[in-house]
Structure 1
Amino acid sequence: MKAEFVPPASADCDVAAHIGNVRLTHICRSMRRGLAQMRSLWQSGAMMTRIFLLATLFAAPLAAEPMDGAAFDAYTKGKTLYFGSGGAPYGAEVYLEDRRVRWSFLDGECKDGYWYEEAGNICFVYEDRPEPQCWTFEQRSGGLLAQFQNEPGALSLYEAQDLGEEMLCLGPKIGV
C-alpha cells in the first residue's frame, strides 16, 4: 500500500490522504474529538482524580502499615533475625517468650532486654541502656523493614535473613 499525505490546510482535518480504502480525514477527526474529550475531563478535574486514584492504587502495595505489637510478636517470637543496613550486616536479635530479646552487633557481645508497644512504635529497653529505643516495623515481601523513631530518618534496617540458628554470645569479659 502506498500512502500519500498532504498536510491539513485548516483545523478541520482536511487531509487529502488515503491508505487503502480509508480516508485519513475520518481518523483525524476522531482523534481530535478524543483529545477534546480528554482536555475537558482534565479541565473538569475528573481526569486528575482518576490519575490520582490510579497512582494511589499502584503505590499502595509499596507503602506498608507499621506493625502493631501483636503482629510484631507473631512474626518474631522464637526467631533469630539478622539485620542489615546499607548492604552491610548490622546486628542480630533473638526474640524470646514474654517479649524478651537478646541483641548483638555481631561482635560476640549480647545485651538482654525486652520490648513493648507504645504509640504505634515497638520500643526496646536493654540492660545497658535504660532509655527506650523505639522503631516502626513494616512487613515487606523480603522481610521486616525497621525505621528508628528516636531520630526519624537517622537509621533504617532491613531483615537480612532468619538462619534458624542460635546467635553467638561469648559471655562476660573476665579479668579485663
Structure 2
Amino acid sequence: MFKAICRTLPLLALLAVPAVPPAAAQEAMTGAGFDSYTRGKTLFYGLAGEIYGAERYLEGQRVVWSFLDGHCKAGRWYERGRQICFVYDDQPEPQCWSFRRSAGGLSARYENDAAAPELYEAENTGRDMVCTGPDVGV
C-alpha cells in the first residue's frame, strides 16, 4: 500500500542504508534546519535498496521532484509544527514528513500514513536528475 501511495505522492522515498537506530537520532528538524541542510542541493532517495527519485531544493522553499523518468513536478514546502509539508503544482494536498538528521544523512517518516516505513537519504547514486519537456517547473 505504501508503494502505491508514494507513486501518487511525488515526494521522498529514500534508499535503505545503514542507519542510526531511531533512539540515537536527533529530534525532528525544524523548518530552518531543514532549509539549511537541503537548500541548493539535489538529494537522491530510494526505498528498499532501490533508487526511487530525487528532489532539488531551491531558494524560497521551492522544490522540484522527479522519479528520474524525465518528468519533474514543481512544488514548495512549509513547516507545520515539527513536520515539513510539501505541495506540488499538480497535487495541492499536503504531504507531511518528519525529518531527522544523523551521521548517515536524512531519515524521514511520512506522517500522512502511520504504517509507512522510515526512509533514508541515498548517497553516491551515480544518477542524474534530468527534467525534460514543458513541465520542468523551475
Q: Does 1:103 align with 2:65?
A: yes
Q: Secondary structure at the match of 1:75?
A: helix
CA RMSD in angstroms comes to: 2.2
Q: Give the TM-score of the pair, scaled to structure 2.
A: 0.75
CA distance in 2, matches of 1:154, 1:60: 15
1:89 maps to 51
CA distance in 2, matches of 1:147, 1:155: 7
Is the 1:64–1:139 contact (alpha carbons within 8 Å) kept by the matching residues of 2?
yes
Is the 2:84–2:96 contact (alpha carbons within 8 Å) kept by the matching residues of 1?
yes
Q: Give the aligned length.
A: 114
Question: Which of 1 and 2 has greater Rg?
Answer: 1
Q: Which has the higher helix share?
A: 1
Look up the equivalent residue of 1:91 and give its one-letter code. Answer: G
List alignment gaps of at least 5 residues for structure 2: 1-20
CA distance in 2, matches of 1:113, 1:149: 18
Runs of 4+ with deviation above 6 angstroms? none
Q: Kindly provide the CA deviation profile for residues 34-84 of structure 1, in whole angstroms up to 9, marking residues without a partner as x.
A: xxxxxxxxxxxxxxxxxxxxxxxxx88623211000000000000000011
Identify the structure with bigger relative contact order (alpha carbons < 8 Å, sequence gap 6+).
2
What is the aligned-residue identity percentage?
55
C-alpha displacement of 1:162? 6.7
Q: Does 1:130 align with 2:92?
A: yes
Q: Does 1:114 align with 2:76?
A: yes
List alignment gaps of at least 5 residues for structure 1: 1-58
Q: Which has the higher strand share?
A: 2
CA distance in 2, matches of 1:75, 1:133: 19
Q: Give the TM-score of the pair, scaled to structure 1.
A: 0.59
